[in-house]
Structure 1
Amino acid sequence: MTTPLRIEEFDDTAYDPFTSDEVNFGDDLDPYPRIHALRAGGAVIPGSYREHMGYPCFYGDGPKFTVLGSSEAEEVLTDASRFSNSGYRPTLGTTFGMGSISTLDNPEHGRWRRIFQKIFLPQYVRTWGTTIVDPVVDGLMARFLPRGSADLVEEFTQRYPFEVIYHQLDLPASDVHTFQRLAIGQTDYVHMAQAQEAGVKLGHYFRALIDARRAEPGEDLVSLLATTEVDGEHLPEIVLVSFLRQLMNAAGDTTYRGTSVLLTALLRNPDQLAAIRADRSLIPAAIEEALRWDGPVLSQLRVAIQDTVVGGVHIPAGASLDVLAGAANRDPDVYKDPDRFDIFRDRRPHFSFSRGPHICVGQHLAKVEMTRALHAVLDKLPGLRLDPQRPAPEIRGMMMRVPAHIHVLFDA
């Protein structure tokens, strides 16, 4: 496959988007004690979550609130008549594009989301598990299997969801390195000039790619998105390009983080890992518990459309609300001993994929990728355990959570 336009690198080739994580999303080892302390002040409190945690806020100078209670989070995320996704426009809208479904409200959001949902239905996504996900996982693991040791982040979880996306998009291998640099750079809002540059250059690339796939459609995701219609409507180019810009971050980055957290939790709890090894039917429960216990995205943003009240607190129109999934997922009124990772706990729905009309359209793909990854770990890494001679994994971040390393040993 060739495109009429080659992908363009950052003007400043010395810029490293992979170092932006800590600056943008924090390096807090354990934000949950602070989150619990904030919840003691009420289910809804004044001020943004970032500011409460000692970080700058990107949402402007208007009134801000943090939503910490689970029922209040449910209310804000599901009531689109009172709360808008427009708060993402200065960040995601600037780099992904104003056609991003994360920035749209109804009726536009519902109209275009139907097309994405049609493509990401579970019955279609499951077929990608064997045709795309498994070969990627097997190829990555083959590089370290003979050693009997690995860094599961650097050598596996950080790579495989992105390589899945490259295969889904059918990108030429020569474009992959620059593509990932641009995709990650889009969310470096501390360096907004580079974030905007990344969005512009990916936009040029995807428009050329869409034209090529419409002329000669294949089985790849770009071809499907470019040719699928619902009720006689195709996706407008602005919406399609915005979605493709966002795909790397929404599908790749969060899956890498979620899988890394899952493996860290199981390695810290070898009795639960052993239980899953003995009974693979526990894998779905383990994935859901990892997403609840330390979901990859702790906060979601909404804006009040009108003057309203949430949790007994007056919210003026135009106010920004940080809906803290990390707090709702560890609400002691909902989850017994919420800070404990326990795959055997009674299942309750979590907030890590959001709720309501903006619930993550790619959640089924994320779960397929996490499931396939865990099966591969169980099949190919017998005797898997943390390497006692290397630093233990530390899950860090205030907004986005992930360990930098997972050093393990296994029986080669």
Structure 2
Amino acid sequence: MSGAPGDVLNADDSLYDELYDVRSEAIENGNFLEMDPYPLMNAARDRAPVHKGFLREVLGLPFYHRHRMTVEGRQGYAVLGYDLAEKTFRDNVRLSNRVYHMNPGDFKMLGILEMDSPEHFAHRKAAQSLFIKPRAVGMWRDRWINEIVGAIVGNLQAKDRAELNMTLCARVPVHTITAAVGLRGEQALAFRKALVNSLGTRSGRAAQAEGMATVDRMVTEQIELRRKAPGEDIISWLLAAEIELPDEGPRTLNDVEIVTFCRLLLLAGGGTTWRQMGIVLYALLVDRSRWEDVKADRSLVEPAIQESMRWNPNNPMFSRLAVQDTEIGGMEIPAGSVVDICLAAANRDPPRWDNPDVYDLHRPFRQHIGFGVGAHMCLGRNVAESEMYVAINALMDHFPDLRIDPDQPAPYLTGGLEQRGISGLHVLLK
């Protein structure tokens, strides 16, 4: 593995507390909710599957929008029913990812997240095969995930209690994705902090500029190293990949494109999986009969992860920009409007699932949209699932009596309407 030894993985570091506290993250972003938003989302969806108004307006919540620079002066619409949400998410002709565009000019800070096809298809195709399930189960586990989880769990064996949000959930994804890029273990948190600062959502302009410069420098250094000595890692793969855009012949990715791709992978890979891993462990432990069921039948680990994504996806909503007049569920959507797609409400739509507010480990599987759907389905979902799968199995192997610590604050789901996770997960290990 590329430099994430056990002592680095398990070192106490205040940056974990700073970067991996769901509640604090939402407060700093300005979108914290003190309450459970699901009753409001369910009620709005049951009134109508699509509404005029941004999602927060429809729910009667204080206004906030992740894409505030894009939505200013525009009309909003909210889609909450499953069938319409899936259809809307798949519509890549009339609805555009340009809602994500954060900067003037053509510079795309978040790469494919800001692209539409054919540009999106070409760039995604260049990296797609690195994230397919056989590689996520094979190469990613063998080279990075198994060793990272093993080091963390090995350290926990000397303890009687732990707080898993910081000691496990935060560490596995960030060290996996940074190691896969080629960064050493001790660089993982420094890079994550610079990356978060570069987005400007939790920092001032000076910190944003410094963060962008640090991210560019650290990734560019890896590009130069891998150009001289390729290995089995993301950057080596991207250096060898070909991209073919309309009106261009096949070519390799340039350094700016590779840096941009890595920025998105490191942002998502080190962030969203952390929150979802906490959510699935919380679901299994808050009703411990679920833990016992999965421990007895490990074929239930994957359904446990999928049900957590249906029940409480860590990214409850995404948005699109209407680039032409369209219609959703009988609602006319003028060009220039912003459409908020509420995956969380769609994943609890009663016509599709019985008792949808309940986390049901034994629920017959039906496709959810917790990872998105279609061309914009989460690129790293198979890697994220592998990280959660290995971590859950390791905990069950080494700590079969794992349970919530009754002497510590009880865990609860928290965050904003745009990102959800657990407050913390204090457990007794033995």
Counterpart position of 1:345: 363
**AA paired with 1:222?**
I
Q: Specify every segment of 5 or more residues in structure 2 that has no aligned partner in the other structure, as ranges.
A: 4-14, 245-249
The 5-angstrom pairing of residues 20-59 of structure 1 reads 20-24=25-29, 25-51=31-57, 52=59, 53-57=61-65, 58=68, 59=71
Q: Determine the C-alpha separation between the residues in 2 that align with 1:196 and 1:76.
A: 35
Q: Determine the C-alpha separation between the residues in 2 that align with 1:116 and 1:221.
A: 9
DSSP-derived class of the 1:155 partner: helix
**Residue 76, structure 1, aligned to residue 95, structure 2:** no
**Residue 235, structure 1, aligned to residue 253, structure 2:** yes
Counterpart position of 1:7: none
DSSP-derived class of the 1:282 partner: helix
**Residue 219, structure 1, aligned to residue 225, structure 2:** no
Q: Determine the C-alpha separation between the residues in 1 that align with 2:209 and 2:326.
A: 34
**Residue 140, structure 1, aligned to residue 152, structure 2:** yes
Q: Is the 8 A contact 2:241 2:252 kept in 1?
A: yes
Counterpart position of 2:279: 261
- Between 170-179 and 160-169, report the one with greater CA deviation: 170-179
1:98, distance to aligned residue in structure 2 (A): 4.7
DSSP-derived class of the 1:105 partner: coil
**AA paired with 2:151?**
G
1:234, distance to aligned residue in structure 2 (A): 2.0
DSSP-derived class of the 1:323 partner: strand
Q: Determine the C-alpha separation between the residues in 2 that align with 1:321 and 1:197.
A: 33
**AA paired with 1:350?**
H
Q: TM-score, normalised by structure 2?
A: 0.87
1:403 maps to which of 422, 425, 428: 422
Q: Is the 8 A contact 1:27 1:396 kept in 2?
A: yes
**AA paired with 2:334?**
P
**Residue 283, structure 1, aligned to residue 301, structure 2:** yes
Q: Determine the C-alpha separation between the residues in 2 that align with 1:367 and 1:302.
A: 26
**AA paired with 1:409?**
L
2:201 maps to which of 185, 189, 194: 189
Counterpart position of 1:376: 394
**Residue 205, structure 1, aligned to residue 211, structure 2:** no
1:246, distance to aligned residue in structure 2 (A): 1.3
Q: Determine the C-alpha separation between the residues in 1 that align with 2:131 and 2:194.
A: 24
Counterpart position of 1:125: 136
Change in CA separation of 1:134 and 1:99 when aligned onto 2, cut-off 3 Å: closer
Change in CA separation of 1:90 and 1:166 when aligned onto 2, cut-off 3 Å: closer
1:253, distance to aligned residue in structure 2 (A): 0.8
2:75 maps to which of 60, 63, 66: 63
Counterpart position of 1:8: none
2:377 maps to which of 356, 359, 364: 359
Counterpart position of 2:8: none
Change in CA separation of 1:179 and 1:98 when aligned onto 2, cut-off 3 Å: closer
Q: TM-score, normalised by structure 1?
A: 0.90
**Residue 165, structure 1, aligned to residue 170, structure 2:** no
Counterpart position of 2:327: 309
**Residue 392, structure 1, aligned to residue 410, structure 2:** yes
Change in CA separation of 1:96 and 1:377 when aligned onto 2, cut-off 3 Å: farther
Q: Is the 8 A contact 2:102 2:108 kept in 1?
A: no
Change in CA separation of 1:345 and 1:95 when aligned onto 2, cut-off 3 Å: farther
Q: Show CA shifts across 1:72-130 (max 9, x none).
A: 11111111111110000027x99993560010001111111111112212222222113
Change in CA separation of 1:282 and 1:248 when aligned onto 2, cut-off 3 Å: same
Change in CA separation of 1:371 and 1:77 when aligned onto 2, cut-off 3 Å: same
1:45, distance to aligned residue in structure 2 (A): 1.1
Counterpart position of 1:114: 125
Q: Show CA shifts across 1:8-60 (max 9, x none).
A: xxxxx9xx666433332424441101111222342111222244432422122
Q: Determine the C-alpha separation between the residues in 2 that align with 1:175 and 1:333.
A: 47
* Shift >4 Å, 4+ stretches: 16-19, 93-96
DSSP-derived class of the 2:270 partner: helix
Change in CA separation of 1:272 and 1:310 when aligned onto 2, cut-off 3 Å: same
Q: Determine the C-alpha separation between the residues in 1 that align with 2:180 and 2:195.
A: 15
Counterpart position of 1:178: 190
